[in-house]
């Protein structure tokens, strides 16, 4: 029997994936009200919530590390869905500190608030906690695999997952965890691979491919991530970890060449650049637990069709991404 929720908190709801989830639950009338708690870092944009009814979505600008704020905010809500994070590997290599603060301390503060106020908690995490796989390895990540994070970012996400597991076992917090693969779609920050290359081509700048370009990511449309999180929140077993993926493995060079072809460029119109330190080789999710236990299926199974829609969205929303693009490329110029 599915659990129902009327008034939830979504942390990081002005970011890429969190805002998609807010649209998903409001537009499908799955909850009555959402309180978005977001610090509005460089990655948060309140415009991501445009079009949602003001009487059903409230934005509270604040930090998940602020325990006093959480104590005021959490009572009266029936669940916390925790997306807020520093989310970009390259930034974590340049400066790990904000990752420790938000991803580890922030998750700890939220768990304490969920514990004090008896609120259901769902933690959004990443497949990167499992490290990486070889290109020719005939297996994919499974929920009980050992944690082997490679980057400052993924090690802080792994730490946050372990905190959640401990708070379930020791304090009885009613929590679940999901570890998802690489998301794509509209509203993704232009520091990330797909939107960075699309906006480079729009700007007449050659895209940048790290290393030998053979690294593999397992792509999922962000709306499928949202539907899976809702399924886990309402029907998942407390204390369980569910892996979210849509069988979307592709090498970076294949994704880049698909973007170039769709945008009218030649297949070699890009620059090879220095590899990311510690660069994970391959991610691949085995989603069978989610599919068999919770009967979840992705809807966006046509990756190239989804890529076409994503390219069209960036072409049509330059005012949304332009300020972030300028700042992101200044950051990249410092370490490329
Ligand atoms: P994002 O960087 O686009 O958004 C993060 C949001 O969190 C922003 O709105 C930001 O303002 C907010 N935030 C950051 N620090 C905060 C703090 N201290 N207090 C309150 N708000 C804060 O991230 P995203 O790509 O949407 O990722 C969201 C979540 O999903 C993260 O937990 C990430 O680890 C996880 N995840 C992402 C992917 C992916 O492909 N992007 C895949 C799997 C899991
Ligand atoms: O797997 C889930 C993870 O996916 C999430 O936890 C992270 O929050 C999210 O950022 C993403 O991490 P990646 O490091 O895989 O994503 P990114 O978009 O940074 O890079 C994707 C791949 O593309 C990676 O192999 C590095 C490569 N790359 C990236 C950039 C920005 C390039 O070759 N060139 C680039 O300019």
What does the pLDDT average to over 183-212? 98
Confidence tier at 174 by pLDDT (50, 70, 90): very high
Catalytic residue among 130, 153, 184, 187: 153
Atom of ligand 2 minimally distant from the CA of 211: 33
SS3 249: strand
Residue nearest to atom 41 of ligand 1 (CA): 183
Q: What pTM was estimated for this model as a whole? A: 0.98
Length of the chain, in residues: 336
**Does the active-site annotation cover 224?**
no
Residue nearest to atom 20 of ligand 2 (CA): 193
Query: What share of residues in the chain are helix, strand, coil (percent, to 5)?
Result: 45, 15, 40
CA distance 207 to 16: 22
Q: Is 128 in the pocket of ligand 2 (CB under 6 A)?
A: yes
| φ and ψ of 317, to 5 deg | -125, 45
**Percentage of the residues of the chain whose pLDDT score is greater than 70:** 100
**Does the active-site annotation cover 83?**
no
Confidence tier at 334 by pLDDT (50, 70, 90): confident
SS3 71: helix
| φ and ψ of 310, to 5 deg | -70, -40
Q: What is the average pLDDT score of the chain?
A: 98
Query: Which CATH architecture describes the domain 7-186+220-247+280-300?
Result: 3-Layer(aba) Sandwich (3.40)
Task: State residue 1's pLDDT score.
Answer: 78
pLDDT in tens, 91-102: 999 999 999 999
Tokens representing 102 are 């938000």
Catalytic residue among 127, 161, 191, 218: 127
Q: Are 278 and 211 in contact (CB under 8 A)?
A: no
**Percentage of the residues of the chain whose pLDDT score is greater than 90:** 99
Q: Are 185 and 147 in contact (CB under 8 A)?
A: no
**Does the active-site annotation cover 128?**
yes
């Amino acid at each position: 029997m599915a659990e129902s929720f009327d008034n939830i908190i979504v942390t990081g709801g002005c970011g890429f994936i969190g805002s998609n989830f807010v649209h998903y639950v409001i537009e499908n009338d799955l909850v009555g009200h959402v309180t978005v708690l977001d610090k509005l870092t460089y990655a948060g944009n309140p415009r991501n919530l445009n079009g949602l009814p003001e009487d059903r979505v409230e934005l509270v600008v604040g930090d998940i590390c602020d325990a006093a704020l959480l104590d005021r905010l959490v009572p009266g809500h029936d669940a916390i869905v925790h997306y807020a994070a520093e989310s970009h590997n390259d930034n974590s290599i340049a400066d790990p500190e904000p990752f420790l603060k938000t991803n580890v301390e922030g998750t700890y503060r939220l768990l304490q608030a969920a514990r004090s106020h008896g609120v259901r908690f769902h933690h959004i995490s990443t497949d990167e906690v499992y490290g990486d796989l070889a290109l020719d390895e005939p297996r994919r990540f499974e929920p009980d695999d050992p944690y082997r994070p490679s980057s400052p970012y993924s090690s802080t996400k792994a730490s946050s997952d372990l905190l959640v597991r401990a708070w379930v076992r020791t304090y009885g917090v009613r929590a679940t965890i999901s570890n998802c693969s690489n998301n794509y779609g509209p509203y993704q920050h232009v520091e990330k691979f797909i939107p960075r290359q699309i906006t480079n081509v729009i700007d007449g700048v050659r895209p940048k491919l790290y290393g030998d370009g053979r690294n593999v990511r397992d792509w999922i449309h962000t709306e499928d991530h949202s539907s899976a999180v809702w399924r886990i929140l309402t029907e998942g077993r407390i204390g369980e970890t569910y892996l979210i993926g849509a069988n979307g493995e592709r090498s970076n060079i294949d994704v880049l060449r698909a973007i170039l072809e769709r945008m009218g460029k030649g297949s070699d119109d890009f620059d090879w650049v220095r590899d990311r330190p510690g660069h994970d080789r391959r991610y691949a999710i085995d989603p069978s637990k989610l599919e068999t236990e919770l009967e979840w299926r992705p809807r966006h199974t046509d990756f190239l069709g989804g890529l076409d829609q994503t390219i069209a969205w960036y072409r049509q929303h330059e005012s949304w991404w332009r300020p972030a693009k300028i700042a992101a490329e200044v950051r990249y110029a410092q370490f490329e």
